[in-house]
Amino acid sequence: MSRFQRAIVVGASSGIGEALALRLARAGAQVAIVARREEELQRVAKEDPERLHPYVHDVADLDGTTALFERIEADLGGVDTLVYAAGVMPGVEEGEYSFEKDRAMITVNVLGAMAWMNLAAARFEAARSGTLIGISSIAGERGRRGNPGYCTSKAALSTYLESLRNRCSRYGVNVVTIKPGFVDTAMTRGMKGLFWVISADEAARRSLAIAQRGRSSGGFVPARWALVAWVVRLLPSFIFKRLNF
């Protein structure tokens, strides 16, 4: 895993981000792990204190991103990989239209990603190398009735990552969009009707395998979700709006 030597994983205190950080560390990378919950970050860091370095940060503190990025850069002696896995998906009830929840999802899932990715992209473009990995979702493929704010945030993240890829791939920067299906994490715990559920570690393994290819635009995790995405995108609106998901 030589292309990932000095990594930042934002949203590394649990779930997919934690699993990605552990895998990167196991492969020999120095990894800055970023999230709000200090005790969870400490728990993750204990797995490999030599390689996992905790930084407590709320991505909603958008103005604090630059200072923290620079601090991590100085601590690690540079950064060649940024993984943005932070995300929230509060439950939305039938008949509920909560701007507070929508704002939280857009702030964490989209604005936070832009704040971190822009800083990394500028450096990677100048260095003519580097990898940006964004954890988006199959939920961004269509606007489903169940959670408009979440679908919007993931569609925005996927589009942002595509633009970033088109902007900096010519400078040797690899921008990878990962679109998981259902993953067994705190985010999905207790949810009904899930299928093809994989573990966070399996999601991390598959995500890094895609990113490792280099010059890959990303993919669905696992790949069979590409078929679902294809069908879902083809469904005409008059059918899609009758569906209950």
Ligand X SMILES: NC(=O)c1ccc[n+]([C@@H]2O[C@H](COP(=O)([O-])OP(=O)(O)OC[C@H]3O[C@@H](n4cnc5c(N)ncnc54)[C@H](OP(=O)(O)O)[C@@H]3O)[C@@H](O)[C@H]2O)c1
Rounded least distance, CB 164 to ligand X, Å: 16
Rounded least distance, CB 23 to ligand X, Å: 14
150 an active-site residue? Answer: yes
Contact region for ligand X (CB under 6 A) — 46-54, 72-80, 84-92, 208-216? 84-92
Contact region for ligand X (CB under 6 A) — 5-13, 90-98, 119-127, 225-233? 5-13
- Rounded to the nearest 5 degrees, what angle is found at the Cα of 82, between the Cα atoms of 211 and 15? 80
Question: According to the binding rule CB under 6 A, does residue 36 interact with ligand X?
Answer: yes
Say how many Å lie between the first and final Cα of the chain, rounded: 38
Please identify which residue in 1, 27, 60, 228 interacts with ligand X, judged by CB under 6 A.
60
Q: Are 183 and 136 in contact (CB under 8 A)?
A: no
What is the footprint of ligand X within residues 179-218 (CB under 6 A)? 180, 182-183, 185-188, 200
Q: Are 180 and 151 in contact (CB under 8 A)?
A: no
Name residue 42's amino acid.
Q
Q: Which of 55, 84, 97, 150 is catalytic?
A: 150
Buried b (16+ CB within 10 A) or exposed e, 191-212: eeeeeeebebbbbbebbbebbb
Contacts (Cβ under 8 Å, ≥6 apart) of 236? none
Question: According to the binding rule CB under 6 A, does residue 13 interact with ligand X?
Answer: yes
Which one, 52 or 125, has the nearer CB to ligand X?
52
Please identify which residue in 86, 92, 155, 161 interacts with ligand X, judged by CB under 6 A.
86
205 vs 104: CA distance, rounded Å: 28
| Catalytic positions, written as ranges | 150
The site for ligand X (CB under 6 A) is made up of 11-17, 35-37, 40, 58-60, 85-89, 108, 135, 137, 180, 182-183, 185-188, 200
